[in-house]
Chains A and B, each alone.
Chain A
């Protein structure tokens, strides 16, 4: 159960036996794991950081804050699997290992909303959309014919895709890293 002053940023399967939740609190972020078999909490880490979005991709947790320091996006990454030999799917009681923080500037006049579609963060204002790759910090800007009102995303190891809806259009794209 989450306390009333918290905001859940991420929920997803973690290994075969656990669910991972990431929640933001007043001045820190809590990462918790629960056993899927009985819902009992199995681990918890705390990171002193402000974050608005959280995504997990390839065993790395990305915490991002595009709001308080706009037009810069802060991306902090953490290794969720420091101990792969653990019997319980790589979970350990060690401190979350930080992989560093990057600051990325996006070319939006204002910020309407963002959507995390691992390993990307998609932010929009008006007709303009900025897509940030959270791993390598590449940024792509694109324009739609009308203002973007809604985004739906999905990601797996095979595919990251997003649907954009605005007045008079719905467009769906695979988001891909260019080869070479």
Chain B
């Protein structure tokens, strides 16, 4: 067994990992809070562990976000977004919009307070997103 480092710039923020299938290939997304209103999603190939610039996103969020504890990445037609859960145990759904200049913007919505979110599954995004969520009692 071995640990192979994935190159990532120094950060003081916790990063969350998720994967999504883009063009029939798995892509690793490393997501971190950058400011209280912005999120950086860096995409890496799962074979060579190289950064994929075209899938990496700097996302501006309208709502104040204190942290990220768990993320689920979704992709549709090579457009990727993120659903995040904060450490203060509130969860947020998102709908990703990319304008004609290529700027990504997420609308975060506080939905419900949960004891602790364990997992989220997205089904048939973008028609139906954030369908299943469970908490640890």
- Contact surface of A with B, Cβ cutoff 8 Å: 2, 4-8, 10-13, 19, 21, 36, 131, 133, 138-140, 142, 150, 152-159, 161-163, 165, 168-178
Contacts and interface: CB of A to CB of B under 8 A. Distances in A.
Nearest to B18: A154
Nearest to B3: A173
Interface in B1-46: 1-6, 8, 10-19, 26, 28, 30, 46
B1 A158 contact: no
B73 to A, nearest CB: 9
Interface centre among B10, B46, B121 (most CB of A within 10 A): B46
Contact of A175 (B3, B14, B123, B131): B3
Chain A interface, >50% SS class: strand
B127 interface: no
Nearest to B5: A173
Interface of B: 1-6, 8, 10-19, 26, 28, 30, 46-47, 49, 70, 118-119, 121, 123, 131-132, 134-137
A146 B26 CA distance: 32
A155 B26 CA distance: 10
Nearest to A120: B1
A162 B49 CA distance: 13
